[in-house]
């Protein structure tokens, strides 16, 4: 197992999540933890499928934004001192429909974000 850890660190990969047949994460003491990925025992539920589709649609919607619109979301997240990216903020807005939160971020960052039409 030490060889796998050395190899992954040699690659310089920020190991978090699945990589091939392995699952990686970093523990509180900055140690690399990994194990063979366990396949699901049952097919996804209807709720899991609907959430995955909603996130997939949000990602597709993000890709359909212009470069300026994406930069506005990224800049607003930074100016509001959020610990998330503009992409994550956008996905949150699409999934949760929290217009009041986005209006607060607009006020803090002085960037208009919601003239977009949301048809989800």
Q: What would the pLDDT profile of 44-78 be if each residue is shown by its tens digit?
A: 999 999 999 999 999 999 999 999 999 999 999 99
**116 belongs to a structural domain:** no
d(CA 66, CA 71): 9
Residues 51 and 92 in one domain: yes
Number of domain units in the chain: 2
Residues 53 and 96 in one domain: yes
| Containing structural domain, residue 15 | 2-36
Which pLDDT score is estimated for 15?
64
Q: What confidence tens digit (pLDDT) does each residue in 17-47 have?
A: 777 888 888 777 777 787 888 888 899 999 9
d(CA 93, CA 33): 33
Which pLDDT score is estimated for 119?
56
**41 belongs to a structural domain:** no
Q: How many CB atoms lie within 10 A of CB 82?
A: 16
pTM: 0.66
Residues 66 and 100 in one domain: yes
**31 belongs to a structural domain:** yes
Residues 6+ apart with CB under 8 A from 45: none
Residues 81 and 27 in one domain: no
- Averaged pLDDT for residues 2-15: 61
């Amino acid at each position: 197992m030490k060889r796998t850890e050395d190899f992954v660190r040699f690659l310089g990969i920020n190991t978090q999540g699945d990589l091939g047949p392995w699952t990686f994460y970093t523990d509180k003491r900055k140690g690399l933890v990994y194990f063979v990925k366990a396949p699901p025992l049952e097919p996804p539920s209807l709720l899991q499928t609907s959430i995955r589709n909603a996130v997939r649609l949000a990602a597709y919607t993000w890709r359909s934004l212009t470069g300026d619109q994406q930069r506005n979301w990224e800049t607003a997240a930074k100016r509001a001192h959020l610990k998330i990216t503009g992409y994550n903020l956008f996905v949150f807005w699409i999934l949760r429909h929290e217009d009041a939160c986005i209006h607060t971020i607009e006020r803090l960052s002085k960037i208009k974000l919601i003239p977009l039409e949301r048809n989800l």
